[in-house]
Homo-oligomer: A and B are copies of this chain.
Amino acid sequence: MTWTREKRYKKYQDWGAQELLELQTKAANSKTITHYHIHPISGLINDPNGFSYYNGEYHLFCQAYPFGPVHGLKSWIHFTSPDLVHWQYRGQAINPDTDKDNAGAYSGSGFVHNGNLLLMYTGNHRDPDWTRIPYQLIDEMDQKGHFHKWDEDLIPQPDHVTEHFRDPQLFEHEGQYFVLVGAQDKKTKTGQIDVFASNDLHNWHEDGYLHFTDKDMGYMIECPNLVFVDQKPVLIFCPQGIDKSVVHYDNIYPNMYIIGDQVDLSKAEFKTNQSSPLNLDEGFDVYATQAFNAPDGNAYAVSWVGLPDLSYPSDNEGWANMYSQVKRLEIKHNKLYQHPVKAIESLRYDKQEITSGMQTGNQYEVKLIIKKGQKGQLHLNANQDLTNGLILDFDTGTDAKLIIDRGQSNPLVNSDYGTRRTIPLNKTEDLDLDIFVDHSLCEIFVNDGEHVATLRFFANEGDQTIGFTAGTQVNGILWKMKSIL
């Protein structure tokens, strides 16, 4: 099937129910779809949107295209959770059903206001000649789950930016409302974060581009996201086209962060001692992470596991992409640490001590300590002779590092961007790994969240062996993990 533009932007009401039922059935029977991580009911999801706590539960929305594993006419779908682990699908939320969002209800954020949840998003409007006009819009959800779209284009595209003006983050800071918008400067064609302020949510003025670095952030910044972690402002964002001499990265586009000392949004100033942003995830497949400050005092983040402009081997199963688990953020040693939330432990069952050669299944968590001063390999979802599978190549001696190698699992995933990722470790220390596998998804938390590496990988369904290089000193626990979706 060829996904022409015409087909991808066909109105939802012009699709047939039978096609949708078949696609949902195909996704539901996929052997590689996740079962304790958010996935599409059918078709594609990408950026997390509107991540928030409202009306006694957590809300998470997804950029979604229900009719195929491609980027088509986007809507928001909705999940809710009592604990950030057990998610319930709540169906369609923002539909692309007005003129202002006629080519998609694009990404945005959630903000609780006057007892309702304001979902601010970019209406992706296309003229008949396919020229884009981005509108910054609000869809307001009440306690009964009813939606009401505001009429206003709240922040018309400024003259000095191109059509690439999207992904509004709406929040309150020091008594004023602010919106950060990802933008491309018209003159310099550089990626920027444009800051707007308001006292009433209706009348907005521009504070200017956020100054958070002197370095060139490439040609576009997507998904700007300011969150406070341990009292410090942290800016999470996706710079596209950033030069690898500024920050090294291996993925097609990186997801980065920078920790500030303070932020003065009225002056569009983000003060930091960090010379450059850092990669948020050291795996292969994280993008568009969205974080928010929850009422419990924590900052939580969730990531799209997938990347723009790439496809995955499972796309032919009627669905594309999933989300990471929710990660609690912390600052330690001037770095961002990411931790599984406590409630993920409620999914564990069938606890076992790990021995090399045992069978893990393909939905599990392993926690293990690899003693210092060793070199070797950990194989996950390997065949019996360990020649296929996901490989973690570790050195806990003086040249301490962890190499994640998905080049020995089949089919390969976007190998144009390399099949290995290297995480530098501290010399001669024990290595602490907390690894979550959910079918074709793997999340590796290294040394209590100092590093996180998230990736897709594809093993043969029957390849479920965990194995170590002979003689490795390792202590580990395996739990099977329950399904929540």
Q: Which residues of A are at the interface with B, using a C-beta cutoff of 8 A?
A: 11-22, 24-29, 35, 66-67, 86, 88-92, 145, 346, 349, 482-483
Contacts and interface: CB of A to CB of B under 8 A. Distances in A.
Contacts of A20: 17, 20-21
A25 B22 CA distance: 18
Given A12-B18, A17-B66, A25 B86 contact: no
Which 5 residue pairs are nearest across A and B when measured between Cβ atoms?
A25-B91, A15-B17, A13-B18, A17-B20, A28-B91
A91 B15 contact: no
A13 B22 contact: no
A25 B349 CA distance: 32
Q: Which of A15, A22, A29 has the most CB of B within 10 A?
A: A29
A483 B25 CA distance: 22
A296 B19 CA distance: 38
A26 B88 contact: no
26 contacts: A11-B18, A12-B17, A12-B18, A12-B21, A13-B18, A15-B16, A15-B17, A16-B16, A17-B20, A20-B20, A20-B21, A21-B66, A21-B91, A24-B91, A24-B92, A25-B90, A25-B91, A26-B91, A27-B91, A28-B88, A28-B90, A29-B91, A29-B145, A86-B482, A88-B483, A346-B349
Nearest to A97: B18
A62 B319 CA distance: 24
Nearest to A29: B145
Contacts of A91: 21, 24-29
Contacts of A482: 86
Contact of A89 (B28, B66, B86): B28
A76 B92 CA distance: 24
Contacts of A92: 21-22, 24-25
A17 B41 CA distance: 14
A231 to B, nearest CB: 33
B17 A67 contact: yes
A19 B482 CA distance: 33
Contacts of A35: 88
Nearest to A21: B92
A25 B26 CA distance: 20
A14 B86 CA distance: 35
A64 to B, nearest CB: 10
Nearest to A42: B91
